[in-house]
Structures are given as C-alpha cells and as structure tokens.
Amino acid sequence: MPCSSVVPTLTEQTSLHKPPSRTTTVEVFWKYCANYAALFDEESRLHTVISSTALLCLCTAYNGVLYFETDVLASTSTTSLLEIRHELHAGFLTQTMCDFSYKFLALLATSEIVIILLLMPFTDRPHIPLIGGRRGVMLTSWLLALIPTVLSGYSTFPGQTVWTYLSRGLIQGGYSSILITIPELYPASRRVTAIAFATALSYAGIAIACWVVFSDLSNVAMMWSMGVFL
C-alpha cells in the first residue's frame, strides 16, 4: 500500500476540521447511514467484506479457546462438563456450582501480554522475511496458533495447558495486528466507521463460540471447530 493512501488528503483534512454547523436530527441520521453505506462502495466493498469476515472468524476462535480454558481446563468440579450439560438438557439439574482455579486462569491470561509483546515489534518491520510487517505477523500468528488450538483438545496429549496458552496468545497477537491494519485500508474520513462496523459484526462470534463449547461436542471436536475458524 503506498504511503499516500494512508496520509489524509487536503480535502479530508478540511472536512474533518471544519467548524460544526447546526444540523437537524434527520440530517445526522442520514449522514450516519451514508458513512456506513460508503463502506460498500466500489472502492471499499471488498475490504469491508474480507475484514468483517476475518474478525468474525477470529472472534469465534478466540472466545472458543477462552471458554474452553474457563469451563474445561480450569474447572475443579468433580462432575464433568459433559455430564452437567446432559443433566441440564434432561431437566434433572436446575442449579449447579463449579469451582475454578483463578490462579490458573490468571496464568493463562498472561499469554496475551507475553506473546503480543513478542510479536508487535515485527509489525513495523516488513523487511523481515515471513514474520515481518502486518501481513507477516497476522499469517504467522494464525498458522502457528492452528496446531496448539487443535492439540489442546486432546487430554491424552502431553502439555494440554501449554498448547492452550500458546493458542490463546497467538490468536490474540494476530487479532491485535489486524485491528491496526483495517483502518489503514480506508480513507481517513471513514476509518473509525470501518473498524466499528467490522468489530460489531465480529461479536456474533461470541454466540457461535458459546454454542460450540456448551454443546454436546467432545473436547476434540470443539477445538477442531475453532481450528476451522482460524
């Protein structure tokens, strides 16, 4: 992408800094709609579809791993999550209490800090092969996250906690990079609207992740599903 497309033009700067004028509620509403409609013009349509779909898939994968950590790995209840699901569906269990290892959850949460701090310096270095630049960080993070995401579903495979730790951190590392990249795909006057639209649509991934994790799927099937979204 040429640098000229990232720097606001004189026209855009003028429109962004002109003094506010009196507007009616109807005018504000139509301008609001026009800003979102502009995301689907000929120049921006492809960017909007791809970025929104990417964020939706990432949000699903990330929250799926997060719920898996919380409700499967960190649960210290003697009743398995699968047994609780069956009892709830059958109507035999109206209320249940689960205990969680909060120290364990806090430890897993550090993956987002540690791995993001390791990856972010490569974002502004596109000359570094494979991992350099925004595209390199995103692709490398998600490709590397695919393996631990799938392996974390196998309780018989050694290092289940380590795989989950790496999976969550790598997904979030690529997620942080794409949040930087999306606004740069649009003119300065609609960058905030673009990232807001893509982020709002991505929240549907939370519902998808909940449905997968709290379904009757096995742990292996859950994490393979999250790998598909990656």
Q: Roughly what angle, to the nearest 10 degrees, separates helices 25-37 and 191-202? A: 80
Q: Taking 70 as the threshold, does the pLDDT of residue 112 lie above it?
A: yes
DSSP state of 124: T
Domain contains 20 = no
Domain contains 49 = no
Domain contains 199 = no
Domain contains 32 = no
Assess contact for 171 and 61: CB atoms under 8 A.
yes
First to last CA, the chain: 25
- Partners of residue 75 on adjacent β-strands: 100
Domain contains 126 = yes
CB atoms inside a 10 Å sphere around CB 163: 21
CA distance 215 to 209: 10
Q: Tens digit of pLDDT for each residue in 30-68?
A: 888 888 888 898 888 999 999 999 999 999 999 999 988
Q: Taking 60 as the threshold, does the pLDDT of residue 221 lie above it?
A: yes
In the chain, the number of structural domains is 1
**Enclosing domain of residue 183:** 56-189+204-229
Identify the CATH number of the domain in which residue 144 sits: 1.20.1250
pTM score: 0.76
Domain contains 183 = yes
3-class DSSP state of 178 = helix
What is the pLDDT confidence band of residue 77, given thresholds at 50, 70 and 90? Answer: very low
Domain contains 7 = no
